Amino acid sequence: MTAAFEWILSPAGRITCSASALTVAGLLIVMSVLQWRMNRRHASYRLLIVALMLAPASWIEPVGAARDAIPAGAGLLSFILVNFAVLALYVTFRRSDKWMLAVLVALASGAAAAQFGLDAGWFSGGGQAPDAADGAGVFRPVDLIFLVISGLMPAYILPRIGQKAKVAAAQAFYFLSRLIAIAETGSASALPAWIPAAGLLLITFYYHLLFFILFRRTLERMQSVYISSIKDGLTGLYNRRHFLKKTNRYAGHGLPVSILFCDIDNFKKLNDTQGHHAADEALKKVAAILSEEVSGVGTAGRYGGEELVASIARPGADPAAIAETFRQRVERETPVTVSVGVCPASAGLSVEDAMRRADEAMYVSKTTGKNKVTIHRPSAAAAGQKQ
């Protein structure tokens, strides 16, 4: 184990860890730029791009008067921006979030400037910069601000986002790596070999975790966009386009496809007398019942307005019985009733023709008393046979 730590601290090990972190940071920048361009310049990706571009400055070896101010300050700013970028991936920034970000950036910048001044000897009487060996006893503003911000971030960020465990782990990795860097500043020679090695590994793991967090969130966004493109936002049923696509797929696989066409009775009156909220709630309840009744035997969709449709594609399923059960449940469980038209499966009948016939049967139900199921019969379509 000691040999492994010594290798990590060797030039080859340091190059390997740095190359790994740089590669992942580069991939993160590329992903962020692409997402920024695709998502209307979303603030989260803009923050992430700036944070990742600051990251390499936090890895440079301290030299001259800047001793540790530039890498420590750049690392702290990057840490702040990364956390707020993750927050922006999940929530829309409030005014308080913008103010908090501005205050933290100002504090970090001020602490880095003060640290630079201390390292350069601006505040010492003789104008001499303190020797690096005395770092352990020198007041370090950038480290104090880092400790404050590291304690604040989990409480401010974690309750409002997803992937809490991954983000908390990333915050912990960065916190521990920075503590090790602080310890190295004053007493590197006195530290066991495994501590500096752990610091290198922790910062490498930090950037790998950031990659997984962004990748997971990108997939979640893509899935959300896809779902919103195929489902109705109010009822959760498939929209007309995807319903027809799915039903045509059933037919293309040779399944017997029956169509149910449903219309909520007196929906406009409900909307006018009790308001949009009551009407929407009724529509959602009816849609939920329809979805439950066709689950496992077909699919349901919202055709438009208060019109709902379903396709039954399981051999042996009785579409008329399903429609009647649906009608009875709506009457019993909701404040509305439904008129339903059914077009049973028929060889050679296209989905479009079946939809039209089910619509005609539903119209018969509407015009002959409502709250009933009518099955389309080619020889007696107008008769409106009730089942």
What is the domain-level CATH number for residue 181?
A: 1.20.1070
Q: Which of 177, 199, 185 is nearest to 69 (CA)?
A: 185
Indicate left, alpha or beta for 205 from its phi (over 0: left) and psi (-120 to 50: alpha). Answer: alpha
Q: Are the beta carbons of 109 and 73 closer than 8 angstroms?
A: yes
Residues 6+ apart with CB under 8 A from 342: 258, 259, 260, 261, 319, 320, 323, 358, 361, 373, 374, 375, 376, 387
Please indicate, yes or no, whether residues 190 and 307 belong to a single structural domain of this protein. Answer: no
Please indicate, yes or no, whether residues 219 and 245 belong to a single structural domain of this protein. Answer: no
Q: What is the pLDDT of residue 361?
A: 95
3-state secondary structure 252-302: HCCCCCEEEEEEECCHHHHHHHHCHHHHHHHHHHHHHHHHHHHCCCEEEEE
Q: What is the pLDDT of residue 40?
A: 60
Q: Does some domain include residue 375?
A: yes
Average pLDDT over residues 277-289: 95
Please indicate, yes or no, whether residues 141 and 191 belong to a single structural domain of this protein. Answer: yes
CA–CA separation, 311 and 240 (whole Å) = 12
Q: Are the beta carbons of 77 and 105 closer than 8 angstroms?
A: yes
Write the single-letter amino acid at 148.
Answer: V
Q: What is the pLDDT of residue 387?
A: 44
CA separation (Å) from 50 to 21, 47, 77, 179, 197? 16, 5, 9, 24, 28
Both tokens of residue 84? Answer: 């707020």
- Share the mean pLDDT of the chain: 84
Least confident of 3-12, 24-33, 36-45, 364-373: 3-12
Please indicate, yes or no, whether residues 34 and 179 belong to a single structural domain of this protein. Answer: yes
Both tokens of residue 202? Answer: 């922790």
CATH number assigned to the domain comprising residue 245 = 3.30.70.270
What digits encode the pLDDT tens for the residues 311-339?
A: 999 998 999 999 999 999 999 999 999 99
3-class DSSP assignment, residue 76? helix
Bridge partners, 309 (sequence order): 261, 301
Least confident of 24-28, 173-177, 330-334, 359-363: 24-28
DSSP annotation string for 80-118: HHHHHHHHHHHSPPPHHHHHHHHHHHHHHHHHHHHHHHH
DSSP annotation string for 190-231: GS-THHHHHHHHHHHHHHHHHHHHHHHHHHHHHHHHHHHHHB
CA 355 to centroid of chain Cα atoms: 36
CA–CA separation, 99 and 96 (whole Å) = 5
Q: What is the pLDDT of residue 130?
A: 52
Residue 176 confidence (pLDDT) above 60: yes
Q: Does some domain include residue 235?
A: no
**Domain that residue 68 falls in:** 2-230
Q: Does some domain include residue 314?
A: yes
Please indicate, yes or no, whether residues 42 and 128 belong to a single structural domain of this protein. Answer: yes
Q: Which of 51, 55, 52, 46 is nearest to 88 (CA)?
A: 46
What digits encode the pLDDT tens for the residues 115-171?
A: 887 777 676 655 555 554 444 445 578 888 988 999 999 999 999 999 999 999 999
Q: Does some domain include residue 31?
A: yes
Average pLDDT over residues 65-79: 76
CA–CA separation, 29 and 24 (whole Å) = 9
Q: Is the dihedral of CA 40, 42, 48, 53 positive or negative?
A: positive
Average pLDDT over residues 226-240: 93
3-class DSSP assignment, residue 2? helix
Q: What is the pLDDT of residue 75?
A: 87
- What is the tally of structural domains in the chain? 2
Which pLDDT band, with edges at 50, 70 and 90, does 180 fall under?
confident
Please indicate, yes or no, whether residues 225 and 271 belong to a single structural domain of this protein. Answer: no
- More confidently predicted of 341 and 118: 341
